[in-house]
Amino acid sequence: SIVFTKVDTVSKAEIVRKANDFGMRYHAQHYADENEAGSEQIRQGQMSPIIHLTSASNGSGIKELLVSMEADFLQYKLSQASDSKAGKFAVTTEEGDTVYVDGAGGDEEG
């Protein structure tokens, strides 16, 4: 993710130009050569970075940024919590219980 702050202080045209510039840099770095490490990302169909526009003075974009960060963290936590059950991930709930979910996020079992 990329976060632009203080977006209320610049023009919309400038924001669009900078967002496009960052997006093009991302593609140039990650997709330059399909024979390099980025080729796995291409095969998996991963998307470009998410660009968040925020402004503390009027509060715009803050809630969306926090939701996106939480979703990214949960996805990371699921990918790091691989368990010995075939195709299942161990997830600890807020109550401290461990549940196992499949890779798609369904099929919970205790």
Report pLDDT for 39.
54
Please give the C-alpha separations between residue 56 and each of 31, 67, 94, 108, in angstroms, as whole numbers: 34, 16, 30, 39
Report pLDDT for 62.
92
Q: How many CA atoms lie within 13 A of 48 on its CB side?
A: 14
The answer to pTM > 0.85 is no
Please name which of 106, 39, 51, 52 lies closest in space to residue 78, comparing C-alpha atoms.
106
Residue keyed to tokens 């490490």: 37
Pick out the chain residues at pLDDT < 70.
30-48, 76-96, 100-110
* Strand extents, DSSP E, 16-95: 51-53, 88-92
